[in-house]
Structure 1
Amino acid sequence: MNEKNNKWIIHLVAHTHWDKEWYFTKQDSDILLNDNVNNLLNMLDNNEISNFTFDGQYSIIEDYIKYNPDNKTKIEKYVKDKKIIIGPWYTQPDFFNSGSESIIRNLLYGIKGCQSINSDYLKVAYVPDSFGHNNQMPQIYNSFGLNRFLYWRGISKKIIDNNGIINDWVGIDGSKILSYNLLFGYWPFGSYYPYLELNKSNINLKAKEFYENTKLMIDEIKNKSLGITNSILIPIGGDQAPILNYFNEFVNEINNLSNDQWIVSDYDTFFDNINISTNNLPMINEELRFPYLSRVHRTIGSQRQDIKYILKKLETELYLNLEPLMSYYFLIAKKYDKSFIDEIIKNILLSQAHDSLGGCNSDRTNSDIKNRIERSYDLVQSIETKILKIISKNVNLENESLLIFNTELFDTCHDYFVKIFTKHKYFNLEEKNGEIVNYSVIKSSYCESGMSVKPSINGEKVESLDGFYEHDILINDLKIDSLFFSVLNIVKKNEIYIDKYISNFKITLDKNMIVIKNNYNDDCYKIIFECTYDFGDSYDYSPKSFKTEEINTFLNSSIEHIIHNRLNISQITIDYLVPESEKKSKKILQKFFITIYEYENNKLTFNINTTNNSSELRWRFIILSPKELKSTFNDQCYSIIDRNHNEYLKTWEIDKWKEAPINIEPFEYICGVRNVFCIYSKFLNEYEMFDNNKFAITLYRSVSFLGKNDLLFRPGRSSGTSEYNLKTFDSRLINYNFDVSLTIDFNNNVNNLLESRHNIKNTLYYQNQNYNTLHKKFDRFLLKIPSIEIKSLGISLSNTDFIVKTFKKAEKTNDLIIRGFNPLDKDINLSLKNNNTNNNILFNVLDLNEDIKHINKNEILIKKNEIITISIKGDILDD
């Protein structure tokens, strides 16, 4: 604080925090939104309020305009004049369970949305309620031109005590952003504002009550700002808060009571006038995920696993398969279905708002979210099938032949899981040059119940169709050029040849324990399935006691080994008895079906299938390591982060944290222990290392309430609706069929994100067949096929260690965008090459808002965890 001026300047910001859905549906909130915005417009028309901040989201205004198109011009005027303040977000996201690229698209679509109505947006990275912040966000904010960060949740006691609430937050790559912590949150001051009671006759009385009720909180904010600034920020609002009547008059009355200067402000104005008195602010050098001041719900990553599973599946298919395929199609055909992509991404972003993605909602709301995601996945699959079918027809794909597409920007040699339909029981797969491709049959069945219906003069004419085989196969070591495809023909043969694969592992079963012995180094790993009571709710896991007690009783087990061509399979069944629920001691059967595939060097892929029959429990997949485990690493939001156990778990109760800072961590696709193993999965979200040699992946949780009071790991009021414990029957996941895969990679000193790519992506392929046209639903439609010259583009990255997260058409031009990052502990160089001409391809370097930073580069140096966005011309084939 400036010693020459003892008067504090207190910035009051009228706002609302707008959850689109929660214990209510989006339909409910849309009705309320309509009333609130109409009231705001009337007040602005009559100069009754200076400005109002709509939660840093653009999509709120988009929703309003959808129902009130006649008011669009008025909305545009007030947003442009900064009377209605929106953006930069599309929705307020979850930062640990959203995919990397979705977080960037959230800001991209939020800013683009504001610009679409010729309006400005909030220049502050405003995140009032999300459950913590990953430490790649400073780099992302900077690249969007955002240099101020305003938040509440996630700060630690150590930071508050040592640094206060104003800091420079330093990201994992070294990027820096000015950060201001809302010490008491976005809502407490609003809870003392008399929204519906205030009128001209009682305004002085209500202002005095507000001043007295908030004095201690304001004094504490002053205390945590001393020595840095004489300006403090007080948001006045709350969840779905109405517009503030008589706000200017209310502030004038407070000024009559206070020695400080209280002003009606907004977040941009506050940061513009914060008057920091030092050039060396304290720094935060870690992620913000500590539940000291407020809860961050460290185990929300495993709540409603069914929803998180389909959302991650959708993101993976969209960003890693569909958009690269559409980019290839755009280069050869100049067609790009952008409107469908916009719809899919907006549905993703709507579903990734912090409560929506958390799954901490009513059953009705979660049903809406799940349906929204499934509809979007249908769009993705249909667009994929349409493009692949057009390509296949233009290359005259033969009957029964299949086309497999490589969406990577480099040549690959991989194994591919595919389902094919053919009249042959035994067959060869042959490339166009006649070279035979190895494959393994995983499962086969014969289908002979089909019928065809044709019209005739006597009515319908029904004929039986010839039978056919359905084969699930694994194609081995198929080489495919960068951003191109391989065609495989099915050729009949009389018998199947078994080429025995030499195994790296010996897999056995010891009762309920899967024992994996490495044949090369004799390391012995053990796998168990752990079930414990979950006395928590839809926000947090909570055990019965601090000592974990397993409640699954082993019943019996079996194992069968199957050897296919280049593939070893171990099929395991383990039966347990578990309590029916927390309150019912009756034991019921829980069967686990585990299939272990060994087909890659020093890797094992586990498919885990079970149908949940109980509630109030948590299941985990636990690896018991022969080696001591000291620290972990995982990917998150365009970065790799190394983790040690946090230092606060021993003292959290003494220091009165809002929630136990347990060492359960989120991940996007990979997690593990360096030089021991790494796990790849697109289905799961959280892990824990404990007892020096155990590594657990949470499979799923089953709970019965949205919120509960007095949890062991979260004392006090329930989260959500604390006055009433809302039952959520669907969150028990009764009869939910849990079917996921994960891969354990025992290789050391590899780029795990690069290695994981093929394990997390579905095979992108099309088979020209008429046996089962329902396999890919869109394939059944009659489609007019445009004539297109299909060719290899030859575009290739010089460095495969650069992890591409998106390859898509630009938002503002017909250029194509490539975005990725460097996950290694060293700098890497990157260039683009045209393999057809052997020349380098010039590219522009962009910021995340897709504005040009550098033009016509042929190479770029990329630092550890640095995000790079480059663009190439959409007409590159015409050069």
Structure 2
Amino acid sequence: MKKKVHVIHHTHWDLEWYFTSNESFVQLSYHLDEVMTALENNEISYYLLDGQMSLLDEYLQSFPEQKARIKKLVQSQKLWIGPWYTQTDELIVSGESIIRNLTLGMALAEDLGSYMNIGYLPDSFGQSKDMPKIYKGLGIDRTVFWRGLPKEKTGDREFYWQAEDGSKVLTSNIKDGYFVGVGLIYSDQAQDLMSQIEDGAVGQNLVLPVGGDQRYVDFNLRDRIDFYNQQLSDYELKESNYDDLFSELEKEDLDTIEGEFISGSVSKIHRSIYSSRYDHKYLNDKLERRMIYQVEPLLLMAEKLGIANKQGLVDRIWKLLAKNHAHDSAGGCNSDKTNRVIRERFVEADQLSYSIVDYLTRKISESQEKVCHNQLSLFNTLPLEVTKTVKVQVSTEFENIQLRDSENKVVAFDLIKRVKEYSGEIRREESEKDPNKYYYIHELAMEVTIPSLSLVNYQVSENKNVVEVIAIDQQDYIENDNYQLSFIAGQIQLLDKKTKKIYHNILSFEDGGDEGDTYDYSPAHDDRVFDLTLDDSQIRTFCGEQYQEMLLTGFWKLPKDLNARAEGECNQKQAYELKVTLKKGSQQVECHLVIDNKVMDHRMRAVINLPFENRYSYTDTPFGTVRREVEDSHLKDWQEIGWREEPTSIYPMLKWVNAHDSNNSWTIFAKGIKEYQLTGEEYRQLSLTLFRSVGFLGRPDLLRRPGVASGNAFKYIPTPDSQLLEKLTFKFAINLEHDYNPAQIGKAYLDYALSLPFYQNQGLNLFTTTLKYFVSNTLKEEISIPENINLKAPELVFSSLRKNKLYGGWDLRVYNPSFEVVKGENVILSPRDLFYEFVDLKGIALTERQKNGKIDLGDFRAGQIKTVHFID
């Protein structure tokens, strides 16, 4: 019986890489003419347009007259498109972003007839263990990928891939890359190619993807298929598509495997790309948090008050982010000109998303009943009550202020800073300014409690009885209810007040050479690693009742470049500013580091010194958690057994990383830092990669990745921008608990990472936000903020609250991050009865619609995601 060889004619169209998306678009505009003509003239039977809709989205903006032509080819199942908007990175992009990426792509493809209902990611640098449940939640039960599958997990190319919640997808793992099939076009060694793709194949159906990066149409495809069929007696090649391939694979008896696939055993996965172009990763993290935790829920609050929902604006922002989530774009392994375009997209998304929050908080605040001058409104955009210490700014004509709540009670706060500003027309000479047009900007820290999806108001007035003093102190410690943090002999010491334990030198820093590239860290061939102490730091403390901070400033002496490092010459000062803060009631030691980077080709890490040894690390994934070994069993022999890169235990993280034993659980939260490694004796150090500074897109013969350069193997492409010679900001926090509980860690992360929007009704300072300068009408009818839904789910993690595009109404999503079944009462409470139903990740109903004021979420399997659709 002959084996069937499914020849898949395709192109892999990187959105951008060493070229920009604009440059490749010119080729795309002509390439699609060739594709459509070839399909219409029956020169080829099928063509796969790389599974991502951003290409057609851009194309049809310029050539809308081609829509009907494309639609006809899609509907006839000749041209295969979707389901992605862009082929996402799976390891450092949030789960909600992955869902937005897919739903955007699906909607665009459906408008053109249909989408390929396959999770097609032929080049992403590793596969998240959560992808099966994401795919199944969106109605996808088949997937194709190439990179990351460990040899030791399976040698099969076809299998069922299962998530811990039981979600299972049929998988085809591409043998030797999406470009392996070009051998059909260029090589007459038919049996050699068949032996290559047959390696690991389970049944009688083999896949031969014929295509490559931005590859043209192979008009001689049928001639080459005929040639091969004449040469082979045991194989039959035919033009095919992945839909037909999977219909055959479903008949096979296949194994089921679980877990993430981030092994370099058979393909490069660039297990340190997570720290390339840190500046981009920081921006992306900030924007994901703002979109998911502020913009989308705030739109719900506004819509309930009669303010139109601008879903098109939200989709525009998500498209910008999705373009930056493509695997090369997210990784940062691009030319400088491409990375500048990526950064500009982040800036555009930042301005749009910030302005949505700006506009809506002002509109809601100024339209409230009995709104007063100098009223300060603070918003909670989460569907659960929030109590936390926040920092806000208010502007007043008087120097000393007081705050009163809605019951006219005086509210305590700490005055952190006061600045005198001028509100009149600017003049060259100070003497020409009107002395009556000065005002004060006060930075305050205050503890607030705000109900779910609501706001609280405070009245700012003059305090005529007390002169506020900024509590700057010269003591060498700060403290709150949980911790005392001291600076002793150049080290930061932590006292845990609950356990009475003292931890010495909890935080230090490390700098080593990096002779890698934008794909991979690799130590310098002649390296020197420096332990960076805080010995010579200048210290300043602020000690309020609500908020305390310790500011350490100084500089480290480092080698300016690789030559100086090889010589051991520390010839460059690297200035730093480390601010460590403790807030009232908080479990987090918040760290804010600013570095003015003037050093090239190096890697800098923050080192948290743990009081216990470790064999595993624990971190969050898009919709769950994962346990990883701190040392790979093949760390010593990886080259001998033919692995493609060193299996160093450098790992990706999204929001947090944890290490724990039976008595201690230490979690590090981060904003934009995406890489960690457990290091040191007995792995008692948790090292966060702050950033890497490198000067080439690809380099050959790295110590951690021998052989040809990744990316473009034929040319050195300098990337001086990727040296990041600029001021860089890093934000992370240390959280200590007795027990490891991933759901509680998820809630603590929200407490750390969520900032609460605020607005002051005043006319002195027109530059508190950009839009404050514009005039704005209030709503025609004054509003009061109604009670909203309240999530009560102690063992679940809140994921998102967003508009349901199919039915109207809103979708609230939660998930179980643990490996255990969650039972007990997990509910959504409403002050009035709601119509609700459970829906999938696409928003399609899974249950009958019900009505109640208490929505029982039910039991959750390990790692399970649930989404509730409700209409108020």
2:500 match: secondary structure = coil
CA contact (8 A) 2:276 2:332 kept: yes
Q: Return the offset for 1:823.
A: 2.2
CA contact (8 A) 2:699 2:716 kept: yes
2:31 maps to amino acid: N
1:210 maps to amino acid: S
Q: Return the offset for 1:831.
A: 2.7
State the distance in 1 between where 2:489 and 2:510 align. Answer: 14
Q: Return the offset for 1:786.
A: 2.3
Match of 1:696 in 2: 687
Closer, same or farther: CA 812–97 of 1 in aligned 2, 3 Å: same
1:216 maps to amino acid: D
Using structure 2 for the length normalisation, give the TM-score. 0.92
Match of 2:143 in 1: 149
State the distance in 1 between where 2:224 and 2:639 align. Answer: 40
State the distance in 1 between where 2:526 and 2:343 align. Answer: 34
Q: Return the offset for 1:356.
A: 0.6
State the distance in 2 between where 1:229 and 1:361 align. Answer: 39
Closer, same or farther: CA 84–546 of 1 in aligned 2, 3 Å: farther
The match for 2:171 among 165, 179, 188 is 179
Q: Return the offset for 1:700.
A: 0.9
Match of 2:467 in 1: 495
* More divergent stretch after superposition (824-833 vs 411-420): 824-833
Match of 2:442 in 1: 471
How does 1:620-631 map onto structure 2 within 5 Å? Answer: 620-631=605-616
Q: Return the offset for 1:546.
A: 11
Closer, same or farther: CA 551–528 of 1 in aligned 2, 3 Å: closer
How does 1:218-237 map onto structure 2 within 5 Å? Answer: 218-225=194-201, 228-237=202-211
Closer, same or farther: CA 784–656 of 1 in aligned 2, 3 Å: same
CA contact (8 A) 2:184 2:224 kept: no
The match for 1:683 among 633, 648, 672 is 672
* More divergent stretch after superposition (331-340 vs 374-383): 331-340
1:853 match: secondary structure = coil
How does 1:655-694 map onto structure 2 within 5 Å? Answer: 655-674=641-660, 675-691=664-680, 692-694=683-685
The match for 2:219 among 237, 245, 248 is 245
1:731 matches 2:731? no
CA contact (8 A) 1:708 1:719 kept: yes
How does 1:18-57 map onto structure 2 within 5 Å? Answer: 18-57=13-52
Q: Return the offset for 1:501.
A: 6.3
State the distance in 2 between where 1:266 and 1:748 align. Answer: 53
State the distance in 2 between where 1:336 and 1:602 align. Answer: 37
Match of 2:764 in 1: 771
Match of 2:415 in 1: 441
1:687 maps to amino acid: Y
State the distance in 1 between where 2:325 and 2:419 align. Answer: 40
Match of 1:535 in 2: 515
CA contact (8 A) 2:179 2:210 kept: yes
The match for 1:741 among 724, 731, 754 is 731
1:12 match: secondary structure = strand
Closer, same or farther: CA 271–785 of 1 in aligned 2, 3 Å: same
Deviation per CA, 1:665-698, whole angstroms, max 9, x where unpaired?
A: 1111111113321111222111111222100111
How does 1:220-369 map onto structure 2 within 5 Å? Answer: 220-225=196-201, 228-259=202-233, 260-274=235-249, 276-278=251-253, 281-333=254-306, 335-369=308-342
How does 1:479-878 map onto structure 2 within 5 Å? Answer: 479-493=449-463, 494-496=466-468, 502=480, 504-509=482-487, 513-519=491-497, 520-526=499-505, 527-544=507-524, 549-550=529-530, 556-584=536-564, 585=569, 587-599=571-583, 600-645=585-630, 646-674=632-660, 675-691=664-680, 692-734=683-725, 736-749=726-739, 751-788=744-781, 789-824=783-818, 825-828=820-823, 829-835=825-831, 837=832, 841-857=834-850, 858-861=855-858, 862-873=860-871, 876=872
Q: Any stretches of 5+ residues in structure 2 without a counterpart? A: 472-477
State the distance in 2 between where 1:769 and 1:668 align. Answer: 39
Q: Return the offset for 1:536.
A: 0.7
Closer, same or farther: CA 392–223 of 1 in aligned 2, 3 Å: closer
State the distance in 1 between where 2:435 and 2:289 align. Answer: 40
Q: Return the offset for 1:517.
A: 3.2
Q: Return the offset for 1:246.
A: 2.4
State the distance in 1 between where 2:637 and 2:805 align. Answer: 49
Deviation per CA, 1:758-781, whole angstroms, max 9, x where unpaired?
A: 211222111122333222101111
CA contact (8 A) 1:316 1:682 kept: no
Closer, same or farther: CA 13–465 of 1 in aligned 2, 3 Å: farther
2:249 match: secondary structure = coil
Q: Return the offset for 1:217.
A: 4.2
* More divergent stretch after superposition (55-64 vs 503-512): 503-512
State the distance in 2 between where 1:755 and 1:615 align. Answer: 36
CA contact (8 A) 2:491 2:504 kept: no
Match of 2:475 in 1: none
1:289 maps to amino acid: I
State the distance in 2 between where 1:322 and 1:560 align. Answer: 36
1:452 match: secondary structure = coil
1:168 matches 2:140? no
CA contact (8 A) 2:479 2:485 kept: no
State the distance in 2 between where 1:826 and 1:277 align. Answer: 31
CA contact (8 A) 1:554 1:577 kept: no
CA contact (8 A) 2:515 2:525 kept: no
Closer, same or farther: CA 548–264 of 1 in aligned 2, 3 Å: farther
2:221 maps to amino acid: F
State the distance in 2 between where 1:274 and 1:814 align. Answer: 38
Q: Return the offset for 1:492.
A: 2.1
* More divergent stretch after superposition (320-329 vs 654-663): 654-663
* More divergent stretch after superposition (358-367 vs 639-648): 639-648
State the distance in 2 between where 1:588 and 1:688 align. Answer: 27
Deviation per CA, 1:34-83, whole angstroms, max 9, x where unpaired?
A: 01101112222222111110111122122221111111100110011111
Q: RMSD of aligned C-alpha atoms?
A: 2.2
Closer, same or farther: CA 695–326 of 1 in aligned 2, 3 Å: same
State the distance in 2 between where 1:742 and 1:165 align. Answer: 40
State the distance in 2 between where 1:785 and 1:384 align. Answer: 16
CA contact (8 A) 2:491 2:533 kept: no
CA contact (8 A) 1:503 1:598 kept: no
Q: Return the offset for 1:754.
A: 0.5
2:166 match: secondary structure = coil
* Percent identical: 26
* More divergent stretch after superposition (23-32 vs 754-763): 754-763
Match of 2:131 in 1: 137
State the distance in 1 between where 2:329 and 2:540 align. Answer: 42
CA contact (8 A) 1:22 1:355 kept: yes
Closer, same or farther: CA 720–501 of 1 in aligned 2, 3 Å: closer
CA contact (8 A) 2:620 2:654 kept: yes
> Number of paired residues?
834
Using structure 1 for the length normalisation, give the TM-score. 0.91
Closer, same or farther: CA 548–263 of 1 in aligned 2, 3 Å: farther
Deviation per CA, 1:159-180, whole angstroms, max 9, x where unpaired?
A: 34xx421122121323222112
Match of 2:108 in 1: 113
State the distance in 2 between where 1:474 and 1:287 align. Answer: 42
State the distance in 2 between where 1:316 and 1:374 align. Answer: 15
CA contact (8 A) 1:11 1:264 kept: yes
1:743 maps to amino acid: A
CA contact (8 A) 1:525 1:626 kept: no
Q: Return the offset for 1:99.
A: 1.5
Closer, same or farther: CA 732–81 of 1 in aligned 2, 3 Å: same
CA contact (8 A) 1:669 1:760 kept: no
State the distance in 2 between where 1:505 and 1:554 align. Answer: 20
Q: Return the offset for 1:801.
A: 3.9
CA contact (8 A) 1:483 1:792 kept: no
